[in-house]
């Protein structure tokens, strides 16, 4: 057994997780790269966005070499799924990182996220719904009646911002347009997965990804990231509304001055909060739990298990 890596090329960020031969985290890295910027309009990944990701992946490969990584998997999500040049990007990413690179379906994304986020949770008598808010898509997943049900919604913090909300101060009109867009996708999710109708009061909601982590940092006033103060914190819907109102009255530059705001999130943060709020409203939830365990943990566990069965050849 040896160290293995999971890499996630999302619409807004590119991330790395390296785990040891006991599946314990050694390295976690996140870089805002905006791969999905403009994909909604152009239908393709921009060369500038691709280069931002490849530059980050080169640094991650150096970290993988430092930690003697012998195997891994790079997964690409919404932006690459939607892009006409997604296959070309995967070829270039694979050449940089030297591990398999593949685009995954929304269903697979939901499954990886659910498995990664719930592995360290204490047991609960009520269902757990994970809400993974990405840049281009948001994954919902819950085990209902012993069966894992998942759905990938065509909305994320970047997509909602670019399409309707805008990056500046919000208005009643832009907020209404954003909420209408989110509601329409939630209607589609509930129609596609009838089992979601059973999710109601008492549900344990688990929020994942950058919007949620940044919200937890804003709540604590952190000026630098501390996983122990961000992971598994409870945030009420009232506090979520507070931050929608506070951030909405500011320009993106003004938001960056608030302790806890992450550079690269300031212009898309409100859209992510509106998505979480709409899901909570749909399920009657008054609070949710933040999670720093997510899709990366699910992917890393799959690679780790594969290596336990078949040792890898060093790169």
Confidence of residue 157 (pLDDT cuts 50, 70, 90): very high
3-state SS record for the chain: CCEEEEEEECCCEEEEEEECCCCCEEEEEEEECCCCCCHHHHCCCCHHHHHHHHHHHHHHHHHHHHCCEEEEEEEECHHHHHCCCHHHHHHHHHHHHCCCEEECCHHHHHHHHHHHHHCCCCCCCCCEEEEEECCCCEEEEEEECCEEEEEEECCCHHHHHHHHHCCCCCCHHHHHHHHHHHHHHHHHHHHHCHHHHHCCCCCEEEEECHHHHHHHHHHHCCCCCCHHHHCCCEEEHHHHHHHHHHHHCCCHHHHCCCCCCCCCCCCCHHHHHHHHHHHHHHHCCCEEEEECCCHHHHHHHHHHHHHHHCCCCCC
Topology annotation, domain 121-292: Nucleotidyltransferase; domain 5 (3.30.420)
Listed by start position, the domains of the chain span 3-105+296-309, 121-292
18-34 tens-digit pLDDT: 999 999 999 999 999 98
* pTM (2 d.p.): 0.87
Higher per-residue confidence, 106 vs 255: 255
79-89 tens-digit pLDDT: 898 899 999 99
In CATH terms, are 3-105+296-309 and 121-292 the same topology? yes
Higher per-residue confidence, 36 vs 159: 159
165-206 tens-digit pLDDT: 998 999 999 999 999 999 999 999 999 999 999 988 778 999
Contact in structure between 209 and 294 (CB atoms under 8 Å)? yes
pLDDT for the residue numbered 314: 37
Task: Indicate the class that CATH gives domain 3-105+296-309.
Answer: alpha beta
With a pLDDT cut of 70, the percent of the chain lying above it is 98
Report whether pLDDT(42) > 90.
Answer: no
């Amino acid at each position: 057994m040896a160290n293995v890596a999971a890499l996630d090329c999302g619409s807004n960020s590119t991330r790395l997780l390296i785990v040891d031969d006991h599946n314990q985290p050694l390295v976690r890295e996140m870089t805002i790269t905006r791969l999905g910027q403009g994909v909604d309009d152009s239908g393709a990944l921009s060369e500038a966005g691709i280069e931002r990701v490849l530059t980050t992946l080169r640094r991650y490969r150096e970290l993988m070499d430092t930690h003697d990584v012998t195997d891994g998997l790079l997964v690409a999500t919404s932006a690459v799924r939607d892009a006409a040049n997604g296959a070309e990007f995967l070829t270039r990413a694979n050449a940089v990182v030297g591990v398999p690179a593949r685009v995954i379906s929304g269903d697979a994304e939901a499954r990886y996220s659910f498995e990664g986020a719930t592995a360290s949770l204490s047991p609960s008598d009520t269902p757990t719904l994970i809400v993974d808010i990405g840049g281009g898509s948001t994954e919902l997943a819950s085990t209902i009646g012993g069966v894992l049900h998942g759905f990938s919604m065509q909305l994320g913090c970047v997509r909602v911002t670019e399409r309707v909300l805008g990056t500046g101060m919000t208005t009643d009109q832009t907020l209404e347009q954003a909420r209408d867009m989110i509601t329409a996708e939630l209607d589609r999710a509930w129609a596609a997965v009838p089992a979601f109708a059973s999710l109601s009061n008492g549900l344990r909601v688990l929020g994942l990804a950058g919007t949620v982590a940044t919200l937890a940092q804003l709540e604590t006033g952190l000026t630098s990231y501390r996983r122990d103060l961000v992971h598994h914190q409870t945030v009420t819907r009232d506090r979520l509304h507070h931050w929608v109102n506070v951030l909405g009255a500011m320009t993106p530059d003004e938001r960056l001055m608030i302790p806890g705001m992450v550079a690269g999130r300031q212009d898309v943060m409100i859209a992510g909060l509106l998505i979480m709020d709409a899901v909570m409203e749909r399920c009657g939830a008054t609070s949710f739990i933040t999670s720093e365990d997510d899709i990366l943990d699910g992917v890393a566990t799959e690679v780790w298990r594969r290596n336990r069965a078949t040792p890898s050849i060093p790169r």
